[in-house]
Structure 1
Amino acid sequence: MSRDANVPLDVDLVSRMRTGAVFDASGVNAVDFSTDGSLLVAAADDDSLSIVDATAGQLRKTLLFKEHGVARVKFTHHSSAVLCASNKPSSGLIMYHSVVDNQYLRLFRGHSDRVCSLSLSPVDDSFISCSLDSTVMLWDLRSNEPQARLLTGRQPCAQYDPKGLVFACVSDPSCVRLFDMRSYQQGPFASFSLIGPPYWNQVEFSPDGTLLALSSPSNMTVLLDAFSGDHRSTLEHANASFEYEVPIAFSPDGKFIVSGTDIGSLHVWDATSAGKVAELQDGHSSAILCVKCHPTLAMVASGADHLSLWIPAATKDE
Structure 2
Amino acid sequence: MSAPVLADRADSDNGSPAPSDNENDAFHLAHIPQKRARNDNPSTSALALVAAPDVALPESSLATRPTDTMINVNLTYEDMTRPVLGPENPFTERKLFLQNTLAGHVEEQSMTEHAFRTQHLAQSFDTARPSHQQTKALKRKRQAKGDLTVVEGEGSYAGPWASWEGENAAGELPDGVGEEDQDAEEDEEAEKEEAEKERRKSAKAKRSAHGQETSIFHGKSFTDYQGRTYMHPPLATAPHLASEAGLQETFIPKACVHTFTGHTQGVSVIRLFPQTGHLLLSGSMDTKIKLWDVYQEGNCLRTFMGHHKAVKDVTFSNDGRKFLSCGYDRQMKLWDTETGQCLKAFSNGKIPYVVRFHPDEDKQHIFLAGMSDKKIIQYDMNTSEIIQEYDQHLGPVNTITFVDDNRRFVTTSDDKTIRAWDYDIPVVIKYIAEPHMHSMPAVTLHPNKKWFAAQSLDNQILIYSTDNFRQNRKKRFAGHTVAGYACQVGFSPDGKWISSGDSDGSVVFWDWKNGKIKSRLRAHSKVVIAHEWLPHETSKLITASWDGLIKMWD
2:345 maps to what in 1? 107
The partner residue of 2:259 within 15, 18, 22 is: 22
2:488 maps to what in 1? 247
Distance in 2 between residues matched to 1:120 and 1:53, nearest whole Å: 23
Q: How much is the aligned-residue C-alpha RMSD, in angstroms? A: 2.5
2:271 touches 2:281 (CA, 8 Å); kept in 1? yes
Counting matched residue pairs gives 301
Cα deviation for residue 198 of structure 1 reads 4.1
Structure 2 vs 1, CA of residues 142 and 272 (structure 1 numbering), >3 Å: closer, same or farther?
Answer: farther
2:417 touches 2:437 (CA, 8 Å); kept in 1? no
> How does 1:199-214 map onto structure 2 within 5 Å?
199-214=439-454
1:310 maps to what in 2? 552
Distance in 2 between residues matched to 1:76 and 1:229, nearest whole Å: 26
Distance in 1 between residues matched to 2:305 and 2:449, nearest whole Å: 36
2:542 maps to what in 1? 301
Say if 2:515 is the partner of 1:274: yes
Say if 2:420 is the partner of 1:161: no
- Bigger Rg, which one: 2
Distance in 2 between residues matched to 1:23 and 1:136, nearest whole Å: 34
Distance in 1 between residues matched to 2:256 and 2:386, nearest whole Å: 40
Distance in 2 between residues matched to 1:271 and 1:119, nearest whole Å: 27
Structure 2 vs 1, CA of residues 28 and 271 (structure 1 numbering), >3 Å: closer, same or farther?
Answer: same
Structure 2 vs 1, CA of residues 67 and 229 (structure 1 numbering), >3 Å: closer, same or farther?
Answer: closer
The partner residue of 2:334 within 83, 96, 99 is: 96
The partner residue of 2:321 within 66, 69, 80 is: 80
1:226 maps to what in 2? 466
Structure 2 vs 1, CA of residues 206 and 196 (structure 1 numbering), >3 Å: closer, same or farther?
Answer: farther
> Counterpart amino acid of 2:425?
Y
1:134 maps to what in 2? 374
2:395 touches 2:415 (CA, 8 Å); kept in 1? no
Structure 2 vs 1, CA of residues 49 and 172 (structure 1 numbering), >3 Å: closer, same or farther?
Answer: closer
1:118 touches 1:129 (CA, 8 Å); kept in 2? yes
Distance in 2 between residues matched to 1:230 and 1:79, nearest whole Å: 33
1:27-73: CA deviation from partner (whole Å, max 9, x where unpaired): 11010011131211011111221111122233212232353543301
Local SS of the residue matching 1:20:
strand
Cα deviation for residue 261 of structure 1 reads 0.6
1:125-145: CA deviation from partner (whole Å, max 9, x where unpaired): 132211111111122333311
1:315 maps to what in 2? none
> Counterpart amino acid of 1:94?
M
Local SS of the residue matching 2:499:
strand
Distance in 1 between residues matched to 2:267 and 2:484, nearest whole Å: 18
Cα deviation for residue 80 of structure 1 reads 3.3
Structure 2 vs 1, CA of residues 150 and 76 (structure 1 numbering), >3 Å: closer, same or farther?
Answer: same
Q: TM-score scaled by structure 1?
A: 0.84
Q: TM-score scaled by structure 2?
A: 0.50
1:116 maps to what in 2? 353
Distance in 2 between residues matched to 1:113 and 1:303, nearest whole Å: 27
Cα deviation for residue 3 of structure 1 reads 11
Q: Which runs of 5+ in 2 are unaligned?
A: 1-236
User: Which is strand-richer, 1 or 2?
Assistant: 1
Cα deviation for residue 171 of structure 1 reads 2.9
The partner residue of 1:145 within 367, 370, 385 is: 385
Structure 2 vs 1, CA of residues 140 and 55 (structure 1 numbering), >3 Å: closer, same or farther?
Answer: farther
1:261 maps to what in 2? 502
Structure 2 vs 1, CA of residues 143 and 213 (structure 1 numbering), >3 Å: closer, same or farther?
Answer: farther
2:311 maps to what in 1? 70
Distance in 2 between residues matched to 1:218 and 1:66, nearest whole Å: 33
Cα deviation for residue 162 of structure 1 reads 7.0
With a CA cutoff of 8 Å and minimum separation of 6, indicate the structure with the bigger relative contact order.
1
Q: Which runs of 5+ in 1 are unaligned?
A: 313-318
1:3 touches 1:297 (CA, 8 Å); kept in 2? no
> Counterpart amino acid of 1:108?
F
2:240 touches 2:536 (CA, 8 Å); kept in 1? no
Distance in 1 between residues matched to 2:295 and 2:394, nearest whole Å: 41
